[in-house]
Chain A
Amino acid sequence: MLKVTIDNKTVEVAPGTSILDAAAKVGIQIPTLCYLNLHDLNIENKPAGCRICVVEVEGRRNLAPACATDCADGMKINTHSIRVLNTRKTVMELILSDHPFDCLVCAKSGKCDLQKMAQDLGIREIRYQGEQSHYREDTSPAIIRDVDKCIMCRRCEMMCNEVQTVGVLSGVNRGFEAVVAPAFEMNLDHSECTYCGQCVAVCPTAALTEVDHTYKVIEALADPTKVVVVQTAPAVRAALGEEFGLEPGTLVTGKMVAALRQLGFNYVFDTDFAADLTIMEEGTELLTRLNKYLAGDTNANLPILTSCCPGWVNFFEHHFPELKDIPSTARSPQQMFGPIAKNYFADKIGIKREDMIVVSIMPCLAKKYECSREEFKVNGDPDVNYSVSTRELANLIKLANIDFHNLDEDDFDQPLGESTGAGVIFGTTGGVIEAAVRTAYEVHTGKTLEKVDFEQLRGMEGVRSASVDFNGLELKIGIAHGLGNARKLLEEIKAGTSQYHAIEIMACPGGCIGGGGQPLHHGDSSILKARAQALYREDAGKAIRKSHENPFIKELYEKFLGKPNSHKAHELLHTHYFDKSNQITIE
């Protein structure tokens, strides 16, 4: 162990501990800006680029960046000497001297790490008035890049390259002209971007933000000729409260429903219903392939990969197109909900498809892009019209002057609002496959599950494997969250060494609870854990916890779809995938 003194406090730390972590141990919070550490997910960014965290180390000529300097035995460190404070202020003023001064109208105002740091450091003037760099704005179907607001912290680059291994964003050019951009400075929609939105989730400023559909939703709600239907994804209820100052992990399902009703949605439905439907379709597909395999068919196409996550779909279409026949053909729950609402439900209430607007509330930015995919449109009319993020919903609620804290809890409308515990856990890593196992087990074995909780499928490890006893058959399951982890399992499949029957993949670390559209976690991974626990709590509290027991799902099949994987189900609830590997090459 090493002994170091920080601001006259002595602390013992293991070799390899940074000054930043050592200081935190004795309650000293050294300010940071570019630094990001999601401990539970093994994600760390410390390029020591911003120099906000500099401290004075006795006997050392230069100030040391606390995030990237390891403690040495006997070190004496001062984190707030005059020299440190002056340097920090100067560094901050220099960063701000090349940053637009439009805080009042900026999308990130109030949630901006840069703005907060400027306040914390007491910046009241910027003494450096020089040229500011300017770059074009880049708008894609999901993400907006406004590079003028970039402070080159490289968090997005780390997420895109190391965590997600998508490799779209990189620092390019040099000096004053340096920016973070895709190859050849092409726009995001010409690149291999998956729209997972993890870059947006970690961006400290408004350099990366989501495409905002808030106003389009307001316009739809104000149109008396339209019936406006809303669906809410599972992960939203576990995080929305944070936008109103509630503790992470607070479940606000009832309040969220009440708020949506007050906003004027005609029907408040639940994506969890569509998640149950997904299990029926995807689970049936799993069992069909499994039975083929058990019958000795060598072309049984196992392992089956889940297909609920549009970021993940984009990833394999770009990076692993040779595997595009392996994922389930089941659409994501968002895109299952759309055609059921616009066909089954529209018929039921006697309106035409084009008179219905479907809005989805999603923890996700890739879902915005998914809505715009041509295969999810009928004569140009999208199955889901607008996808708004958890953050945007919070803004909508605030715009409508709704006192969120004092709302009475309300229930979803029927029939598309009824869901089981299996649907709820779709929002966290391991949840989709657990939901699938609950149904597939009972259908395959004909037995009733004694215990529906499959603890072995839960957790935050990036890649997990487990096996479930299917009446003598060891069903081998792989789980990956974060696209870098998914890549590992895909490489195994490509090499023919994969041992799994079924694999669940979610693009975002933690699954949808850590999605690019969720309230910003500002680098605190305990927030993600709390959200996951909230979903498991909601599941445990549900009367029905298996998708195939959802009475309205049963009714939907009896009255409308026939059987799972029927012709009609295929037409409305399944999709196909494209080879997009060469899309960035322009001949």
Chain B
Amino acid sequence: MNCCIPTISTRATRSPLNNLNTGNTMSSIKIKLHQQDIDKLKEVCASFNNDAGELINVLHKAQGIFGYLPAEVQEIISKELNVPLAKVYGVVTFYSFFTMIPKGKHPISICTGTACYVRGAEKVLDEFKKNLNIKVGETTADGKFSLSCLRCVGACGLAPVVLVGEKTYGRVAPDMVKEILAEYKD
């Protein structure tokens, strides 16, 4: 299950929630879970004996299954482990690993590790932000791209490095960003 865990995104859980005015707007991030998803989630909780102390491990596995942690998933975990929903949400928003936003079809990760950073990763990142009109941790409205940063993929010789899905791009310059995005038409 761990293999499906998406790329770590920094601060992914914060940004969209800052704009909330009422509880109602939460519906925008609500999804309806299929019964099989619910069963799977309950199995995960059961595999940890529904132990409240295992909350972080359960969330970790759940994000492995769903790619993110929508409100419904947190609600089920809250009920199964008997942990207040606010506490579950507290943990999800505390750790940058957890995210409440689904990844795009083509998740873009920009390495901002030391080597990539000194070779201009930030300018590349800015170019992606400008072209996609989203911030780090967000997903485009059409669900096609999401943007995140990570620290070092172990390919410092290719700095700055960008990953789109499984594909790696090396020595990326800001003027290459448009071309890279154009590769993903669907």
**Chain A positions near chain B (C-beta within 8 angstroms):** 136, 161, 166-174, 177, 181-187, 189-191, 584-587
**Chain A residues within an 8 Å CB radius of B26:** 184, 186, 586
Determine if B90 and A184 form an interchain contact, defined as CB atoms under 8 angstroms apart. Answer: no
Give CA–CA (A240, B48) in the complex, Å. Answer: 51
Chain B 83-120 near chain A by CB (<8 Å), digits 1 or 0: 01111111001101000000000000000000000000
Cβ 8 A contact of B24, one of A169, A185, A190:
A190
Q: Given known contacts A172-B90, A586-B24, what 9 new A-B pairs fall within 8 Å (CB)?
A: A173-B93, A173-B94, A183-B84, A183-B85, A184-B17, A184-B26, A186-B22, A584-B85, A585-B75
| 10 smallest beta-carbon distances between A and B, as pairs | A167-B84, A190-B23, A186-B23, A170-B86, A183-B85, A170-B90, A183-B86, A183-B89, A172-B90, A586-B27
Determine if A171 and B23 form an interchain contact, defined as CB atoms under 8 angstroms apart. Answer: no
**Chain B positions near chain A (C-beta within 8 angstroms):** 14, 17, 20-24, 26-27, 30, 32, 71-72, 74-75, 78, 84-90, 93-94, 96
**Chain B residues within an 8 Å CB radius of A187:** 22-23
Give CA–CA (A97, B71) in the complex, Å. Answer: 34
CB nearest to A166 among chain B residues = B84
* Shortest CB distance B91–A (Å): 9
Cβ 8 A contact of A183, one of B14, B21, B72, B88:
B88
* Shortest CB distance B50–A (Å): 16
**Chain A residues within an 8 Å CB radius of B96:** 174
Cβ 8 A contact of B86, one of A169, A173, A189, A586:
A169
Determine if A167 and B85 form an interchain contact, defined as CB atoms under 8 angstroms apart. Answer: yes
With A186-B22, A187-B22 as contacts: A167 and B94 at CB distance below 8 Å:
no
With A174-B93, A585-B75 as contacts: A168 and B86 at CB distance below 8 Å:
yes
* Shortest CB distance B101–A (Å): 13
**Chain B residues within an 8 Å CB radius of A190:** 22-24
**Chain A residues within an 8 Å CB radius of B23:** 182, 184, 186-187, 189-191, 584, 586
CB nearest to B86 among chain A residues = A170
**Chain B residues within an 8 Å CB radius of A586:** 23-24, 26-27, 30
Determine if B84 and A161 form an interchain contact, defined as CB atoms under 8 angstroms apart. Answer: yes
Determine if B87 and A161 form an interchain contact, defined as CB atoms under 8 angstroms apart. Answer: yes
Determine if B87 and A170 form an interchain contact, defined as CB atoms under 8 angstroms apart. Answer: yes
Determine if A184 and B14 form an interchain contact, defined as CB atoms under 8 angstroms apart. Answer: no
CB nearest to A187 among chain B residues = B23
With A183-B74, A184-B23, A186-B23 as contacts: A170 and B14 at CB distance below 8 Å:
no
* Shortest CB distance B70–A (Å): 10
CB nearest to B13 among chain A residues = A173
**Chain A residues within an 8 Å CB radius of B72:** 585
Give CA–CA (A169, B85) in the complex, Å. Answer: 9
Give CA–CA (A160, B84) in the complex, Å. Answer: 10
**Chain A residues within an 8 Å CB radius of B87:** 161, 167, 170
**Chain A residues within an 8 Å CB radius of B75:** 585
**Chain A residues within an 8 Å CB radius of B71:** 184
**Chain B residues within an 8 Å CB radius of A185:** 17, 20, 89
Give CA–CA (A118, B39) in the complex, Å. Answer: 54
Determine if B89 and A170 form an interchain contact, defined as CB atoms under 8 angstroms apart. Answer: yes
Give CA–CA (A535, B85) in the complex, Å. Answer: 39
Give CA–CA (A189, B24) in the complex, Å. Answer: 11
Determine if B89 and A172 form an interchain contact, defined as CB atoms under 8 angstroms apart. Answer: yes
Could you write out 28 A-B pairs with CB less than 8 Å apart? A161-B84, A161-B87, A167-B86, A170-B89, A171-B90, A171-B94, A172-B90, A173-B94, A174-B93, A174-B96, A182-B23, A182-B86, A183-B89, A184-B23, A184-B71, A185-B17, A185-B20, A186-B20, A186-B22, A186-B26, A190-B24, A191-B86, A584-B23, A584-B85, A585-B75, A586-B24, A586-B26, A587-B32
**Chain B residues within an 8 Å CB radius of A184:** 17, 20, 23, 26, 71, 85, 89
With A186-B26, A191-B23 as contacts: A173 and B85 at CB distance below 8 Å:
no
Give CA–CA (A186, B75) in the complex, Å. Answer: 14
* Shortest CB distance A65–B (Å): 22
* Shortest CB distance A228–B (Å): 34
- Pick from B75, B88, B89, B96 the residue with the most CB of A within 10 Å: B89
With A172-B94, A585-B75, A586-B30 as contacts: A181 and B86 at CB distance below 8 Å:
yes
Determine if B14 and A172 form an interchain contact, defined as CB atoms under 8 angstroms apart. Answer: no
* Shortest CB distance B156–A (Å): 29
Determine if B20 and A587 form an interchain contact, defined as CB atoms under 8 angstroms apart. Answer: no
Give CA–CA (A293, B84) in the complex, Å. Answer: 37
Give CA–CA (A170, B89) in the complex, Å. Answer: 8
Give CA–CA (A587, B32) in the complex, Å. Answer: 7
Give CA–CA (A170, B93) in the complex, Å. Answer: 11
**Chain B residues within an 8 Å CB radius of A161:** 84, 87
Cβ 8 A contact of B84, one of A168, A186, A189, A585:
A168
**Chain A residues within an 8 Å CB radius of B30:** 586-587
**Chain B residues within an 8 Å CB radius of A182:** 23, 86
CB nearest to A157 among chain B residues = B86
* Shortest CB distance A70–B (Å): 24
CB nearest to B19 among chain A residues = A136
**Chain B residues within an 8 Å CB radius of A183:** 74, 78, 84-86, 88-89
Give CA–CA (A161, B89) in the complex, Å. Answer: 14
**Chain A residues within an 8 Å CB radius of B21:** 136
